[in-house]
Amino acid sequence: MTEPVVVTGGTGELGRQVVRRLVSAGREVRLVSRRPRPAADHEPYGWATADLMSGDGLRDALAGAGTVVHCAGRHRPGEDVAAARTLLAAAQATAVGHLVSISIVGIDRIPFGYYRGKVEIERAIAGSGVPYTILRTTQFHELLRTILALAARAPVMPVPDLRFQPIDAGAVAARLVELAGSPPEGRVADLGGPETHALTDLARAYLTRTGRRRPILPLRLPGAAVAAFRRGEHLAPDHPTDGPTFVDHLAAVADPRSTRYGGGR
Ligand SMILES: NC(=O)c1ccc[n+]([C@@H]2O[C@H](COP(=O)([O-])OP(=O)(O)OC[C@H]3O[C@@H](n4cnc5c(N)ncnc54)[C@H](OP(=O)(O)O)[C@@H]3O)[C@@H](O)[C@H]2O)c1
């Protein structure tokens, strides 16, 4: 296979692990970022500077690509949808053969603005005519650890009384790489982490790892979205990975107190 695999969001928490695994698998890879390639980066992948909001540079970024793995994301749902639509238009124009996109478990069951955007993105992909595969996963260990690091800055640690089934972004990346090497499948089975725990328990594990003592304040938040989380609509109990647990992740991470997330280049 000589066509490059293009990875949008290849500098992000998920995307950089997808890039690493594709390179290890011997694939030709082209990462897409808004930033120019850092002078010190001599890794064996290509780098295309493009903006999914304006579309600048995007057709060149996709030129000759057989497969695109979409890992870029915007925090504002309207921008997230707009970026995906811009990508789809460029993918149509450049005849991309397979778009693999990450999504989130339960987006159609949880009335949360960010998730409504994800539903719109999935529909736009499905209706675009571009052959596609969509994988929904649960929250990444890296995200929950960052949220707990922020909460632990206060003398009393406020933690929503919800359960999570966090998954290692590397395990998600491994599955995306597998899907990128297979024919388009539409939406595939959801993927969740190996264990489900109350966030207060994950907070205790976080405090142990960082050697901090804090009272944990369980928060019972109001609202329909939180009620859906409380029902466990964001969990994938039938589809756990056997990848690293949250405690494994905490043990492996170099700086568990860091509150920086994603875009670590
Ligand atoms: N975090 C989770 O728990 C979780 C769970 C399931 C699914 N997801 C989904 O997975 C995706 C990736 O999440 P993540 O946590 O890896 O995100 P992240 O670390 O915040 O990375 C976001 C990436 O998007 C790129 N990006 C943002 N705006 C862009 C633009 N206008 N043009 C081009 N690239 C742009 C950034 O690249 P540059 O800054 O280099 O341009 C960055 O690499 C998101 O769609 C997210 O919803 C996340």
Q: What is the pLDDT of residues 194-243, one digit of tens each?
A: 999 999 999 999 999 999 999 999 999 999 999 999 999 999 999 999 99
Residue 35 near ligand 1, beta carbon < 6 Å: yes
Residue type, 167: I
C-alpha to C-alpha distances, 91 to 95, 134, 171, nearest whole angstrom: 6, 15, 26
Per-residue pLDDT, 1: 52
The range of the structural domain enclosing residue 199 comes to 5-252
Residue 259 resides in a domain: no
Residue 101 near ligand 1, beta carbon < 6 Å: no
Q: Which two tokens stand for residue 137?
A: 């996963």
Cα–Cα nearest to 83, from 96, 74, 93: 74
Residue 31 resides in a domain: yes
Residue 184 resides in a domain: yes
- Which residues, listed in sequence order, are joined to residue 70 by a DSSP beta bridge? 8, 101
Residue 59 resides in a domain: yes
CA of 153 to the centre of ligand 1 (A): 25
On whether the CB atoms of residues 73 and 9 are closer than 8 A, the answer is yes
Give the CATH number, domain containing residue 28: 3.40.50.720
Residue 87 resides in a domain: yes
Please report the atom of ligand 1 found closest to the CA of residue 72.
24
Residue 265 resides in a domain: no
Domain count, the chain: 1
User: In sequence order, which residues have a C-beta less than 8 Å from that of residue 208 and are 6 or more positions away?
Assistant: none
pTM of the predicted model, to two decimals?
0.97
Q: Which two tokens stand for residue 248?
A: 């494994």
Residue 46 resides in a domain: yes
CA of 12 to the centre of ligand 1 (A): 5
Per-residue pLDDT, 264: 45
Q: What is the pLDDT of residues 90-140, one digit of tens each?
A: 999 999 999 999 999 999 999 999 999 999 999 999 999 999 999 999 999
Residue 7 three-state SS: strand
CA of 185 to the centre of ligand 1 (A): 23
DSSP state at residue 95: T
Q: How far apart are CA 203 and CA 257, in angstroms?
A: 12
Residue 117 resides in a domain: yes
Residue 2 has pLDDT above 80, yes or no: no
Cα–Cα nearest to 49, from 80, 17, 13, 6: 6
On whether the CB atoms of residues 176 and 135 are closer than 8 A, the answer is yes
Per-residue pLDDT, 265: 37
Residue 43 three-state SS: coil
